[in-house]
Each structure stands twice: as structure tokens, then as C-alpha cells.
A and B are shown apart, each in its own frame.
Chain A
């Protein structure tokens, strides 16, 4: 009955030359990097003042910072090990953001994932690799559920910023209770017992210290996220809902279902990050546990402009800065806090798009796309 047959098209017509694609990618990458680069330059300048106030040599301090982050295999190992969970918590913010939601709940989702992973690691019988595999899956599922709750509440009208913050409290405290009660182990440090050695994630080796294969999984996760968001129909819907809910409705897409999916996926990534951290780096969940990874994920996502590739770079930057700051404190006596100051300034400028726009001229406006917070906060 319907005459709605769109004429066939020849795919070859739509193919583009390698040169064209390459040029576009380079331009896009350049645009993406210019904002963080300017922000970093400003931060380093402010850092100069701080270092001078502490009475140290600027060159020495920054050299130590760089050395500590990337100067040796051990340094690189520390950076990678710091960056691993941040890739996941960064994705946990970036993907919901593409769907128009602001996920502040990475922290709680990460804790839930960590305890779920350890629970499997402690209780499931069987060969180590299999247990580790199941534990990671369960960690992701637990995070998914912790992200799905605000997704459901969103459909009923509760703003995700409020609900994810509340679920952070619940998730963190629930994790602590589980770690101290049903899953409690022996030892001086309160928390769960250690998972068996065979369940721990294999280290990368090569002199990289504590860095484990979770980092490789992080890269894989970023690639999967990229493909999901940009190459699949689901991702297309998710981005449409995030960019223009009116157009999504007009096209017959479900805004509710896609918002739900976006934040549940975010929760899954945070949960995976938590599971890898507990199974890989620590082998247990102690009380108090690693903290702030979820919140730092927000910074990583902002720095990476909510793009998976940017998230990986942002996580490495965050991780390197933290590792480098230790070295800097050790060899020059500049306090560790300088790293936090630098980070805060970088984030401030990356988010203060208007200000950088002003510095770079109006032309920079388009560069800011994707980092604007308002969009995520609006709906």
C-alpha cells in the first residue's frame, strides 16, 4: 500500500577519500585539543606563582613533575595504574552526557561495582581466570543497576543530578557495611579479605609496577563506547535525544528509554572501573576505600570533551599529574597539593568556556561544543 520506497543508493557514492577523512580528523582533533591545551598553559603559569611562593625552582619542580609522571617505567606504571579506573569513571560521565544527562553518581556506582566484584572473587569456586571474568561482569552489572535506578527515577520526573548524589551516599555506605559485615576478612585493615591470588588481574609487567591489564580493558571499553555512540543506531538515538529531544520525539524515538539507557550504561562503566580496581590494584575492598575516582571522572570527561578518546587522554593526564606530584614533593618539597591546584585550574578553564573563548577570540566558540555543562544540567 505504501509508496514509501526510498530509491536505492550506491554506497560507493557516499564513500570518502582517505585524504578527506584524514583532514577532517586532524582538524577535529586540533579543535578538541586547543581548549585543554590553553587551559593547561594557564594552569602551569599559575603554578609558577605557587612554586615561587614555596621558595622552589620552577624548572626543577616542573621537571620533577614530568619525570614522576612519565620519566621512567615505574613512573609510567604509576600513571597507568592511576589512569585505569579514571578511564571508566570518565566514560561513566561522558556517555550519559551524550544522552543529555549529567551523571554525578560515578562514585557510588564504582563502589557498588568494587564490592560486587570482590564478593564474586571471594565466594565463587572454580579456576581463577573464570572467577575473575565472572567477577568483572558482575561488577559491570551491579554498576548498571546502580545507574538504572536514577534512570527510572528520571522517567518519573526526578532530576538525575539529585538522585545520583543521593545514590552515592547509599552506595558508599552500603559497600562499607558489606565489607565490614558479611564479607569482612581478617587483618589489621578493616574491610573484606583478599581475593585469591589467581583471581587478581595479571600485571602488565615490563617494569610497569602495579599497572595491570585493567588498563587494556579500559582502552577496549573506550573503543566500544565510541563504536556504540557513533556507529550504531542505538547510539544515534541516544545522541539525538541528548542534542534535541524535540527532534527525537518528532522522529518517533523514545526520550525516556534512551535517557534510561544512557545513564545505566554510564553506571555500568563506573561499576566495571570499580571491579577492576578492587580485583586488580587492591585485591580487596578496605574501609575506607579508594575515594574520589568517581568524582574525578567528571573532570576527566570534561577535559576529554565527553569523547571516548578524550577520556583516555584525560585519564592519563590526571593519572600522570598525580604520579608526578609525588615525585615533585619528594625531590623539591613543593607540596603534593600543587597537583590539585593545577588540576582545579585546568578544569576551571576547560569549563569556563566563555573565558577561553574570550582569550582565543570568538572563533573558538565552536571548539567549546561538547564541553558545555549547561546542556547536561538543563533537562
Chain B
């Protein structure tokens, strides 16, 4: 029903899409897979009229689609859910859904009709949302449902989702996929971009793999497996399960006790204590929003805890800020690369010294040594294979995965004693995941103490030596990785079966 033929798009000297052919059938979920920077987002942005292709045509139902703006795309029945939501936080769900296509005549908004329409749609497709709720108060998962409703309200027959699961919990992902399967049963077609091979294998019908802007192959999902997909994507064999050496855990490098930390809306961490030893990875699992971000920020010196104590190699560092922590050998990879880890409009070189610009090798008496900074950036870029390998490129022009590499490359410079990594592989392709995991294990072997926070249970189980589970601001359970089971961790993540409870309480308010 949709065909893209010979689509080509270059940004300056980078060819993001090189003569791409893609065919989308009615009633299928078509996966798009490729490394960071392969050109997936660019391709769907062309389809949605956000970019203009240099060459190539798009056909819908055999006719040239003639899409030059997003509103053309909407008219042709294409709906897009962007990775960054485009919602108005102060409006209600119903208002957001109908925005720009309001029901009723004249300038008056018929809010009742809008709410009715939203309610009908959400019931029909099993997308649970309250049409009257204020969007700003909804969780990310629910906001995403609102985005999907927006496209349905505009009668989309082709739905494009760019990395929709990067922000979802495993449960929310399952729910989303159930909804998507419902859509295709109704005859809609879906293009789905994700870096998670397992997800794609579970939900899609066919998968097109893109590498360096070119289509490598289109495969039928039921006839392929993770290893083949990874190989197609990267162009070589990928080790999906990194080998972990036995490392004897050494001294305690970082210790926190009775930490209470306030978040944006009240207390987020309620009395956490932990210790991380040299040569070990402590994994912190948990559903998003249970205090992990605030814990990481408090430990890294970005957020001042309300009470409690943090020690680094025996020294009380509770009151220090992040630059001082960095100077004492603590590295921190934050979860939000766009807002915290990088300055989008700065060059890569400038971003590489975000915390270390005061060092004598990068500045003298307040004067930036730009050549030294650039030389340092060039080295780190080469070492981590950041693309494009240009220290003068702006951080915002890099694809998501390459931005993440820049942050990891910066933080791991100079052999830190302690590393706090919050979702270090979020939105990163398998090749880069392999690389970052390898780096984390290398640091561990070298003797660094690592706190790895992740929403991906698989990642934690693969890398961690000990696993702690956070729920509602507390660590509700801790276990040796070797003894952990998915069931046990799952119970803890849902806030049940904690060490203080002999029996699961069966608390009905907690949905699992």
C-alpha cells in the first residue's frame, strides 16, 4: 500500500539515505532496523514531509503521494509518533488529540464532542486514557498513547513509530505492542523503528535492515533470528552476550548511607544505603521513576541530598558538587543525554571538556587552550568510533547513539575510580551496546567500582555482580547476580516480596 523507491537524501557530505526502496503491505508491522546514524529517522521524516528527498518517489496505493509537508502526509493517511512528543502539557488529553483538527463549526471548540471521540477511539483500540486528564500530569507511557490517538483521530492508515519503546517500561511496551497488533488486525499498516532486536522479532511481520543509508535486506521475521539481524545491521558478527571475566571485588570505593533525596515532586529517595567495591558492578533494577535518577544525581554530586552521607574512598563527599566529584575520580553518565549530558549547539570538542575545562591541560589562567581541547576530542572520537569523526561538528547534528558514545567516551577518559552509569545504552544500536558493555566490563576488570542503573533487566543480569532493586525510593531487595531469578526481581520491581515482608501483601493498588 506504500512504496518508497530510490529515496536519497544528503546532508552536506553525509548521505543519510542512499537510494532506499521500501515496501509496506496492508496489515503488516514492518520493522526498520539499523545502526545509529544509519538513516532510519531521516527516511521516515521524508515520508512524513519533514524533510524533502533529493531523489526518489513515494507511492501510496500505486499513486504518487506528492507529500511535501506534514499536513500532506496526514491527508494521505500517514500518522507519526515522534521520539520526542509534540504535546501541549497544559491542555487536556482531548484538547491535544483534536488540536489542529477540532470538531464543531466556527471558532468554538466543541469539547464534549472531542472527549466523546477520544473516548470512542480509546475504547475501540484498547488505549486506556482519561480524555479529561491534563497531559502534563501523565506518565510518558500514557503520553505516548495520546500521540497514537492523535494519529488515529486523523484517520491514519499508516502509522510510523520512531523508537517508541525507548521510553517505556517492559510492561508498557507489551501493552503498546498488543495495541499495535490490534491495529493491523483492523487493516492499518505500521512502520516501527527500534533498536531492540527481541521486540522486533516478537511483534513485526517483516524487517528491513539499513546500513550506512542503504537497504541491506528485507527479511521475513519468522525466518530470522537475533544473530542474523545483528550481522546484517553491523556487517560483521556481533557478540550479543559479552564475556565476563571473574574479578575479585576489592575495597569499598563508594559508600552511601541513609540517603534521603528530594526530586521535583517531593521525596524521591527515602533512605537508601549502598556500597560499591572496586572491580564490581552493582546493578540497580527497577521500573522508571522509582528514584533512580535522583539517587544517581545525589551520588554524582549533581543533586544535594536532604540528609544522609556519601563517602568516596573513605572521605566524606556529601557536600561536594559534580566538578569536585569528578576531580576525585567519579564519572557519571546521566540518563538524559540531550538535556544534561551534552550541549546541543556546542561542538563535540567543547562537549568533551564539559567537566574538565578547568584542568591545566585544557585551560591556563582562564584561557581555553582550544588546540589541546580539539586534540583530546579527536583522540576520544577515534577511540570510540564516534561518527562523524569531526570535533567541530555540533553535538545536536549527531544521531542519538553517537551522542551517547560521546558522553561515555568523555566520562571514561582518565580511568575513573567510580562510575555511575544511568541507562548508558538507551537508544543505542546493538553494535554500540556491545561496545559500551565491553567498556564497562573493561573498567571493572581494571578495578573501577561501577553502579549501573538500567530499566532493562537483561542488561543488568548480563553485567552486574550484585543486583539491587529500587521501588518507591527504597532498595527493596538485593541479591547476588548468580542467585537472581527473573521472578524474584520482577516481584521486587512491583514492590512486593521485599525483605521486610514475609509474604507478598497482595496490594491491589500495585499493578504489575
Interface residues of chain A, those whose CB is within 8 Å of chain B, are 1-16, 24, 231-234, 236, 239-240, 243-244, 246-247, 249-253, 362, 369
Contacts and interface: CB of A to CB of B under 8 A. Distances in A.
B417 A243 contact: no
Residue from B323, B325, B328, B371 having most chain A Cβ neighbours under 10 A: B371
Given A7-B414, A12-B371, A249-B302, A369 B341 contact: no
Contacts of A9: 361, 372, 375-376, 379
B367 A232 contact: yes
Nearest to B50: A362
A29 to B, nearest CB: 16
The interface size bin for chain B is: 35 or more
Given A14-B371, A239-B346, 11 more contacts: A2-B329, A6-B376, A9-B361, A14-B372, A233-B358, A236-B368, A247-B343, A249-B322, A250-B334, A250-B354, A362-B51
Q: Is the interface of B mostly helix, strand, loop or mixed?
A: loop
A232 B361 contact: no
B361 A243 contact: no
B359 to A, nearest CB: 7
Given A6-B361, A240-B354, A250 B324 contact: no
B125 interface: no
Contact of A251 (B323, B345, B416): B323
B343 A240 contact: yes
Interface in B390-416: 391-392, 413-416
Nearest to A253: B323
B339 A236 contact: no
17 contacts: A1-B417, A2-B328, A3-B329, A3-B415, A4-B327, A7-B414, A11-B369, A14-B374, A15-B375, A236-B368, A239-B343, A244-B342, A246-B339, A250-B334, A250-B341, A251-B323, A252-B302
A232 B357 CA distance: 10
Nearest to A15: B371
A244 B414 contact: no
A9 B361 CA distance: 8
B375 A233 contact: no
A14 B376 contact: yes
Given A4-B415, A4-B416, A232-B368, A250 B343 contact: no
B173 interface: no
Given A4-B326, A236-B350, A247-B354, A14 B414 contact: no
B340 interface: yes
B196 interface: no
Nearest to B337: A247
Contacts, number: 133
A4 B346 CA distance: 25
B52 interface: yes
Contacts of A233: 357-358, 363, 366-368
Given A3-B414, A13-B379, A233-B363, A250 B374 contact: no
B288 interface: no
A247 B372 contact: no
Q: A-B pairs with the 5 shortest C-beta distances? A: A252-B323, A14-B375, A14-B374, A13-B375, A2-B329
Interface string B300-331: 01100000000001000000011111111100
B336 A24 contact: no
Contacts of B334: 250
B132 interface: no
Contacts of A369: 345
Given A9-B375, A14-B375, A247 B342 contact: yes
B406 to A, nearest CB: 12
A3 B313 CA distance: 12
B207 to A, nearest CB: 30
A251 B323 CA distance: 6
A4 B340 contact: no
A210 B345 CA distance: 42
A249 B334 CA distance: 12
Contacts of A6: 356, 359, 361, 376, 413-414
A250 B416 CA distance: 17
Nearest to B336: A246
A252 B357 CA distance: 11
Contacts of B345: 243, 369
B379 A244 contact: no
A12 B344 contact: no
A175 to B, nearest CB: 35
A224 to B, nearest CB: 13
Contacts of B332: 250
A4 B324 CA distance: 12
Contacts of A10: 375
Interface centre among B334, B339, B345, B356 (most CB of A within 10 A): B345
B373 interface: yes
B444 to A, nearest CB: 14
B343 A244 contact: yes
Contacts of A4: 326-329, 414-417
A253 B340 CA distance: 12
